[in-house]
Amino acid sequence: MTLSIESYYMKFLRCARCSHDFEYENPLYRPITLPICGHTMCRQCIDIIRNQTKCPQDQVSFGINRTPIDQLPTNYPLLVVLYDPSNLSQDTEERYGQCPSYMKFDKDTKLIFNAVESAFGKISLEIKPIINDKQCQSILSRSMIRKIFSLLNSQYIDRASRLKVLKAIRSLGEHMCIDFILRCQNPQQVTDNFRSVIGLQSDQFLEPAVQEIVLQSIASLKDHSTLSNKHLVHSVVLQVGANDPNGSKPSVNRIVNLLSDASCFQVQQDGDSLSMKLKSEFQNYESLRRAYDSHIMQVVMKDGFYISSEQSSSLLYGDKQHELSMQSIIDKLSTPGSFSQAIQQLGNVLKKFGVQNNDEQRLSNNNQEYDSNWTPIETTLNIAIIILKFLINFKHH
Ligand SMILES: [Zn+2]
Ligand SMILES: [Zn+2]
C-alpha cells in the first residue's frame, strides 16, 4: 500500500458510507461504485445496503432493470491509485466472478470493457505521482484533481450509467483543455474580457462587495410589489445608499439589467412603461445570487471565452471560496458542442506555441452524438488521456 498519498486526497479513497480506507488485500474493503450517483463504497457496506433501492448518501435511485448492486464489479482503476497494478489480480474469474453482468458479456464486449477499465487505470497512473508528491501538486489544480477522482468513481456496466460516464469524460476533457488555455492567458486580459462581456466600460467594475449588497437589497425589498424599472432602481439605491455614498446607481442599474436578462422578474406592460416584480422563487438572496452568477457565466461562456471556477469566484465574490459552486454552474453550462469547441481552441493555442500535435486530428474527430454504446466512451476516454498527459508534461517543463 502506498502510504505517502497526501491526506487531502485520501478522502477520495475511502468508503462513502463507513469511511474505511479502500483496500485490496481484504476483499471486504474493495471499492464498488454505484451506478448514476457514482458514490463508491466498500464491499461490506454494499452488502449491507444491497436490498435498498436508493443510495443512502444522496437518495439517488439505483433504477429498475439495473445490475443488483452486490453484483457490480470492483472499481479496479481506483485501486490503481493505491496499489501497483501488477499486484492486482489479472485473473478474470477472480476480478469479475462476482459480477454476472460481466460474465454474460460476449467476447467483444468483454474486450471493450477491459479496454475502458484499463483506460481509467491509465488516468489513475497519471495522477498518482501528482497526489503523492507535494512538489508536483501545482501541476493540476485541486478542482481538476477532484474532477478526475469523480470520473474515476464511474460505474459503466449498465447502459444508462455509460451515458452518464460519457458526459463526465467530455466534461473533464473540456475542463483540461480550458485549464491549459487559461494557463496561457494573461490574468489582466481575463478580467478585461470578463468586464466587457458583462457590458462594462473599461473604467467600470462591479466590486464583489457592491454586487452582494445590491443583490441582497433586491432580494429583500419590502413587499416585492410591481415597480417600474426606474422605481425599482431607486428603491434599491436608497437601501444601498448608506453603504455606498459614492453613488451606486450605475451598479444597481447594471445589476437590475442583468437580473432582468436572466428572467428573474415578471414583466408587465403598464400603459407606456414596463413594470417589474421579482419572481417569488428569487425572493431570497441564495437563489437570486445563483441565478445571477449562472447568467453571468452563461453570457461569458456563450462568447467562447473561458474562465476557471477559481477566477470566476474571485471576480464575483472577491475570494476563491465560492469556487465549488462556480464549478457546478460551469459544468451545468457545458454541452457536447462545448467539448469540441474547447478541443478546437486547444489546437489553436498549441499551434501558437509551435507544437505540432499528431493527435490533433484525433482530437477534432470527436463529434459523435451522445450514445450509451461503448465505442464513444473508449474514444473519448483516450482523447481525455492524451489531453491529460499533454497538460502534465507541459507543466513539468
Ligand atoms: Zn464501507
Ligand atoms: Zn450516491
117 and 224 belong to one structural domain: no
Contacts of 313 (CB under 8 A, 6+ apart): 319, 320, 321, 322, 323, 325, 326
Q: What value, to the nearest 5°, has the Cα angle with vertex 198 and ends 196 and 203?
A: 50
Per residue in 148-194, pLDDT (tens digit) is: 999 999 999 988 788 888 888 888 888 888 877 777 777 787 778 77
124 and 27 belong to one structural domain: yes
Whether 373 is in a domain gets the answer no
Report the CATH number at residue 110.
3.30.40.10
- Cell numbers given for 64: 429498475
151 and 199 belong to one structural domain: no
Is a pLDDT exceeding 80 seen at residue 305? no
Could you give the CA distance from residue 213 to residue 240 in angstroms, rounded to a whole number? 7
The residue count of the chain comes to 397
Q: How far does residue 397's CA lie from ligand 1's centre (Å)?
A: 40
Highest mean pLDDT out of 46-50, 173-177, 299-303, 317-321: 46-50
Q: How far does residue 44's CA lie from ligand 1's centre (Å)?
A: 6
Q: How far does residue 4's CA lie from ligand 2's centre (Å)?
A: 28
Q: Residue 72 in contact with residue 46, Cβ under 8 Å?
A: yes
Over range 94-110, report the average pLDDT.
90
Q: Final residue of a domain: which of 139, 157, 175? A: 157
Could you give the CA distance from residue 166 to residue 376 in angstroms, rounded to a whole number? 7
Q: Which ligand is nearest to the CA of 35?
A: 2
Per residue in 19-34, pLDDT (tens digit) is: 999 999 999 999 999 9
Q: How far does residue 19's CA lie from ligand 1's centre (Å)?
A: 6
Q: Final residue of a domain: which of 141, 157, 173? A: 157
Q: How far does residue 328's CA lie from ligand 2's centre (Å)?
A: 17
pLDDT at 203: 62
Whether 183 is in a domain gets the answer no
Comparing CA positions, the residue from 258, 177, 175, 265 lying closest to residue 214 is 258
37 and 147 belong to one structural domain: yes
Return the biggest CA–CA distance within the chain.
Answer: 78
49 and 127 belong to one structural domain: yes
31 and 111 belong to one structural domain: yes
Q: What is the ipTM of this complex?
A: 0.98
Q: How far does residue 237's CA lie from ligand 1's centre (Å)?
A: 54
Q: Which residues pair with 41 in a beta bridge?
A: 32
Q: Which ligand is nearest to the CA of 18?
A: 1
Q: Final residue of a domain: which of 259, 284, 305? A: 305
Residue 23 sits in which domain range? 7-157
DSSP summary character for residue 185: S
Is a pLDDT exceeding 60 seen at residue 369? no
- Cell numbers given for 299: 453570457
Whether 29 is in a domain gets the answer yes
Q: How far does residue 73's CA lie from ligand 2's centre (Å)?
A: 16
Q: Residue 326 in contact with residue 312, Cβ under 8 Å?
A: yes
Q: What value, to the nearest 5°, has the Cα angle with vertex 37 and ends 33 and 173?
A: 85
Contacts of 241 (CB under 8 A, 6+ apart): 248
Is a pLDDT exceeding 50 seen at residue 370? no
Q: How far does residue 32's CA lie from ligand 1's centre (Å)?
A: 10
Is a pLDDT exceeding 50 seen at residue 371? no
pLDDT at 84: 94
Whether 217 is in a domain gets the answer yes
Over range 85-101, report the average pLDDT.
89
Q: What is the three-class DSSP state of 276?
A: strand
Q: Residue 92 in contact with residue 74, Cβ under 8 Å?
A: no
Helices (H), ranges, 262-373:
285-302, 309-317, 323-333, 336-352, 360-364
Mean pLDDT of the chain: 83
217 and 94 belong to one structural domain: no
Q: Residue 101 in contact with residue 60, Cβ under 8 Å?
A: no
Whether 341 is in a domain gets the answer no
Q: Residue 54 in contact with residue 182, Cβ under 8 Å?
A: no
Whether 388 is in a domain gets the answer no
pLDDT at 148: 94
Q: How far does residue 94's CA lie from ligand 2's centre (Å)?
A: 26
Q: How far does residue 73's CA lie from ligand 1's centre (Å)?
A: 16
- Cell numbers given for 71: 453484483
Report the CATH number at residue 242.
1.20.120.1790
pLDDT at 120: 96
124 and 33 belong to one structural domain: yes
Is a pLDDT exceeding 70 seen at residue 59? yes
Q: How far is CA 9 from the centre of its chain?
A: 17
Over range 224-253, report the average pLDDT.
75
Q: How far does residue 215's CA lie from ligand 2's centre (Å)?
A: 34
Q: Which ligand is nearest to the CA of 54?
A: 2
Q: What is the three-class DSSP state of 274?
A: strand
Whether 344 is in a domain gets the answer no
Residue 39: pLDDT band with limits 50, 70, 90: very high
92 and 153 belong to one structural domain: yes
Q: How far does residue 41's CA lie from ligand 2's centre (Å)?
A: 9
Q: Exposed, middle or buried by CB within 10 Å (0-12, 13-18, 19+), for 369?
A: exposed
Write the CA distances from 6 to 183, 304, 390, integer angstroms.
25, 36, 24
Beta-carbon count within 10 A of 28 CB? 12
Q: How far does residue 142's CA lie from ligand 1's centre (Å)?
A: 25
Could you give the CA distance from residue 121 to residue 74 in angstroms, rounded to a whole number? 13
124 and 199 belong to one structural domain: no
pLDDT at 2: 47
Q: How far does residue 99's CA lie from ligand 2's centre (Å)?
A: 20
198 and 287 belong to one structural domain: yes
Q: How far is CA 45 from the centre of its chain?
A: 27
Could you give the CA distance from residue 41 to residue 365 in angstroms, rounded to a whole number? 36
Element (H, E) at 74: none
More confident residue, 303 or 219: 219
What is the DSSP secondary-structure string of 353-380? Answer: TT---TTHHHHHT--PPP--SHHHHHHH
Whether 227 is in a domain gets the answer yes
36 and 124 belong to one structural domain: yes
Element (H, E) at 73: none
What is the number of structural domains in the chain?
Answer: 2
